[in-house]
């Protein structure tokens, strides 16, 4: 390497990082949120602001945002917390078995964060075997997560769909791949998720993952996540299965929160009235700003 090259090495690295960011942003193709479709699927919409579902989602969101540090950032400490370490805004949604409500929870969280809190969200389908996210937004199959990771110079162009007038971007699952676990565990995946996270310091990246006991893909994805939302189906998910999945998960990532789905609904309550949210960490840990938690 020549002297000049060596001298400009640092600057070149920074320029490359900035360039990577631009490439990552790309041009998301615009789409309109289909509120009727979301409502039909039981997802939060602005007309449901006063329903029990909206209240429960608010409680879930507040806890998640507090843990991530966005609640503090949005308040008085915003400036102080900026640049105080890496973002902790990558949230993975999973559960033990198929059909327990992971995708439903991921979409509800994403839509409600974006619509009600004005928090920018990138929602990603990380379940190429049973993709569901596009169906909530009426989006066509096409380039998505697996293709972006495989791409030598990753860009969101052609893979990201940006809702018009609402800060929500959806990335579908992408093409089927025989080795999704290897792909999700790759260095390229790590780079991609880190740059997404860095792009959205005031927002969230939410990944809808496969069920833990059915595949090893979730574990590969969980390595990139800052927070894991673990959906438990009330009165249905067997406890040993939960314990086994949590054991594996907690070894990788201690920031796991349990979300109880589909409890018994009180008469006249909304069908979603069951969402509850439990913290795994000590209560006094939750209220610390993210910087202090990281130091601690
Ligand atoms: N709280 C809820 N209220 C109403 N419908 C729900 C609720 N939770 C899940 N559902 C519905 O149950 C079905 C299964 O949910 P979902 O697709 O989210 O499960 P999943 O865990 O993502 O499944 P998979 O493992 O196949 O990815 C969907 O039709 C979803 O709309
Ligand atoms: Mg799903």
- Virtual torsion, Cα 95, 292, 192, 225, nearest 10 deg: -10
Instruction: Name the strand (E) or helix (H) holding 180.
Output: helix 180-184
The alpha carbon of 118 and the centre of ligand 2 are apart by a number of angstroms equal to 25
- Residue 92, Cβ density class (10 Å: 0-12 exposed, 13-18 middle, ≥19 buried): buried
Question: In testing the pocket of ligand 1, which one of 40, 104, 221 has its CB within 8 Å of the most ligand atoms?
Answer: 104
User: What is the spatial distance between Cα 48 and Cα 66, in angstroms, rounded to a whole number?
Assistant: 24
The CATH number of domain 89-265 is 3.40.50.300: yes
The alpha carbon of 127 and the centre of ligand 2 are apart by a number of angstroms equal to 7
121-125 and 227-233 beta bridge pairing: unpaired
The alpha carbon of 289 and the centre of ligand 2 are apart by a number of angstroms equal to 32
Atom of ligand 1 nearest to the CA of 275: 1
Q: Considering only CA atoms, which of 120, 100, 101 is closest in space to residue 110?
A: 120
pLDDT in tens, the chain (296 residues): 433 344 334 444 544 554 454 445 555 789 999 999 999 998 988 777 666 667 777 888 888 888 888 776 555 444 444 444 567 899 999 999 999 999 999 999 999 999 988 899 999 999 999 999 999 999 999 999 999 999 877 778 789 999 998 999 999 999 999 999 999 999 999 999 998 888 888 899 999 999 998 899 999 999 999 999 999 887 788 889 899 999 999 998 888 988 888 754 444 444 333 344 443 333 333 433 333 333 32
Q: How far is CA 135 from CA 64, 73, 126, 172, 221, in A?
A: 25, 33, 14, 10, 22
Q: Which residues surround ligand 1 with Cβ inside 6 Å? A: 41-42, 95, 98-104, 127, 130, 132, 211, 261-262, 271-272, 274
Phi, psi of 240 (to 5 degrees): -60, -35
pTM for the structure as a whole = 0.81
Sign of CA dihedral 227, 177, 154, 156: negative
The alpha carbon of 204 and the centre of ligand 2 are apart by a number of angstroms equal to 19
Q: Considering only CA atoms, which of 191, 277, 265, 155 is closest in space to residue 228?
A: 277
Q: What is the CA radius of gyration of the chain?
A: 19
User: What is the spatial distance between Cα 277 and Cα 232, in angstroms, rounded to a whole number?
Assistant: 10
Atom of ligand 1 nearest to the CA of 132: 17
Question: In testing the pocket of ligand 1, which one of 96, 98, 99 has its CB within 8 Å of the most ligand atoms?
Answer: 99
Two tokens at 77? 């400490």
3-state helix, strand, coil in the chain (%, to 5): 45, 15, 40
Provide the CA 137 distance to its chain's centre, in angstroms. 16
The alpha carbon of 149 and the centre of ligand 1 are apart by a number of angstroms equal to 27
């Amino acid at each position: 390497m020549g002297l000049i090259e060596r001298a400009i090495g640092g600057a070149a690295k920074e320029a490359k990082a900035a360039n990577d960011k631009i490439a990552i942003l790309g041009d998301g193709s615009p789409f309109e949120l289909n509120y009727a479709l979301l409502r039909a699927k039981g997802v939060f919409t602005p007309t449901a602001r006063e329903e029990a579902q909206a209240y429960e989602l608010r409680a879930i969101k507040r806890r998640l945002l507090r843990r991530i540090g966005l609640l503090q950032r949005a308040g008085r400490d915003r400036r102080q917390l900026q640049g105080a370490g890496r973002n902790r805004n990558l949230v993975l949604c999973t559960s033990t078995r198929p059909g327990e409500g992971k995708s439903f929870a991921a979409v509800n969280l994403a839509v409600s964060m974006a619509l009600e809190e004005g928090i920018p969200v990138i929602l990603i389908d990380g379940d190429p075997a049973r993709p569901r996210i596009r169906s909530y937004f009426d989006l066509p199959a096409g380039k998505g997560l697996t293709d972006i990771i495989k791409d030598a110079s990753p860009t969101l162009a052609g893979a990201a769909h940006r809702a018009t007038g609402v800060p929500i971007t959806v990335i579908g699952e992408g093409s089927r791949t025989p080795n999704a676990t290897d792909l999700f565990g790759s260095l390229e995946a790590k780079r991609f998720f880190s740059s997404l996270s860095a792009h959205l310091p005031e927002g969230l990246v939410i990944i809808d993952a496969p069920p833990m006991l059915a595949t090893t893909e979730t574990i590969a994805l969980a390595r990139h996540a800052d927070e894991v939302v673990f959906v438990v189906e009330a009165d249905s998910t067997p406890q040993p299965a939960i314990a086994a999945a949590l054991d594996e998960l907690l070894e990788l990532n201690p920031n796991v929160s349990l979300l109880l789905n589909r409890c018994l609904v009180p008469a006249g309550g909304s069908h979603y009235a069951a969402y509850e949210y439990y913290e795994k960490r000590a209560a006094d840990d939750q209220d610390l700003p993210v910087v202090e938690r990281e130091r601690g």
